[in-house]
Structure 1
């Protein structure tokens, strides 16, 4: 895999030419900035920018003013290869708060294992209704220790619109949800994205996360996608590297609260 070629493709398909990720959401271009705008529970933020030292501060100010007028918290999703090189420092100077850095990892689907090897006692449940969304949200809160209220509403919106751009699954130990994950499909691109992948503490280290990666890789392969992409935490990065994912860049969320 040619890293520079795939990174350029990733930037073009999923950032510069991004499509809205849910009903009622729109993607707008404002000069050299591409942003997504939706309701309060949607992901609002900057997906891509092409700035330099002379234009960055004015562009940041313009986006703060725009989202503040809407009363929206928003995220500037910055990447290590974005220009200017001090973009993160400029965002923090403008009042943004930096979140944890994540690794942008990509793998060719043909190189990934697609045999789903589940631990004994685990079964997979596809998510097709609100009860399934509740299970995903519950696992999210247990695994990551953060509120899932906005995530729950976004996923319900996608199901209500019969969206074909998301695939969700929950790993069940009897009646207990122990791991949940989703895959965001990007029609017209070569990429499907892996999100979630949270496992409750008692079931970590047993291969459930790896099984859900294989499950989603098999679905993506059947749908004709070429690459899987993940924003990986420090916990999931080693697992993904062993499966065949490589690091293209890093990304840091900078959040602004009006």
Structure 2
């Protein structure tokens, strides 16, 4: 499998910056190159393959139109505009700020061969891995992830996960447990019609970090990806998870920064 960053970036742009980004959306509308998706629980999302060489004035107009689209739906309470570091997007940062969007943490877009992560990783004593599917287990997993990220427990995020799981039976949710407590979690999202599967939502409680649990959780998802015929893994990674993925052969192909608007 090619690990050349430029080749992997082409896979990312061509295979993933499509409707593959919004499989759980209840609606998707197009405005020029923009894909405006609405998810359960009142979450809006903006993405695109590229901006087609638009100038700053056009980009600013698109930001305003996209925001008005979501403002018109009172059920939408927040919107994420997903930017990428390699895009040609004149004036986008300024336009987003002017319309009330707040930039979040810069993450690394990591890609590489699944085989590099599909290894046996020893777990600490008392820690086990398993796949979860039932509603109560999914809500427990989601609450633990919220805690790991330092966020309030959100029933909205759990509802979104359950909605997506019902629509996509190939999506897998995995947890690591210790003494009945969910200490780490993550999901695998095979992308239909592509060679790619996403590894998402990796979250480990602070007291359990640095013990190989996240790496083991990634490895079990990589093995599942290969069983499903997906040879490339993709993840948007924080600076905590990026080194773990790099050691397993994934490379950074670009960066991504979410800009958030809240009603």
Return the TM-score normalized by structure 2: 0.90
Structure 2 unpaired stretches of 5+? none
Q: Equivalences for 1:41-120 in 2 at 5 Å?
A: 41=42, 43-48=43-48, 49-51=50-52, 52-53=54-55, 54-71=57-74, 72=76, 73-120=78-125
Q: Which segment drifts farther, 120-129 or 7-16?
A: 7-16
Deviations 1:73-125 (A, max 9, x none): 21110011122244222211222111111111111113334324222211112
Given that residues 18 and 27 in structure 1 are in contact (C-alpha distance below 8 angstroms), is that contact kept between their aligned partners in structure 2? no
Deviations 1:203-254 (A, max 9, x none): 1111000000100000001101121111111111122111211101111111
Q: Which segment drifts farther, 98-107 or 188-197?
A: 188-197
Structure 1 unpaired stretches of 5+? none
CA distance in 2, matches of 1:11, 1:140: 28
Query: Structure 1 residues 182 and 169, CA, compared in 2 at 3 Å: closer, same or farther?
Result: same
Deviations 1:173-221 (A, max 9, x none): 1311111111122111121111111111111111000000100000001
Please give the secondary structure, in 2, of the residue aligned with 1:177. Answer: strand
CA distance in 2, matches of 1:169, 1:191: 18
CA distance in 2, matches of 1:84, 1:132: 41
1:13 matched to 2:18:
no
The residue number in structure 2 matching 1:155 is 161
Deviations 1:34-73 (A, max 9, x none): 22123334x4211214152242011111101111101322
Q: Kindly tell me the number of residue pairs found equivalent between the two proteins.
A: 255
CA distance in 2, matches of 1:61, 1:177: 41
1:17 Cα offset (Å): 4.2
The residue number in structure 1 matching 2:226 is 221
CA distance in 2, matches of 1:151, 1:185: 20
Given that residues 95 and 256 in structure 1 are in contact (C-alpha distance below 8 angstroms), is that contact kept between their aligned partners in structure 2? yes
Return the TM-score normalized by structure 1: 0.91
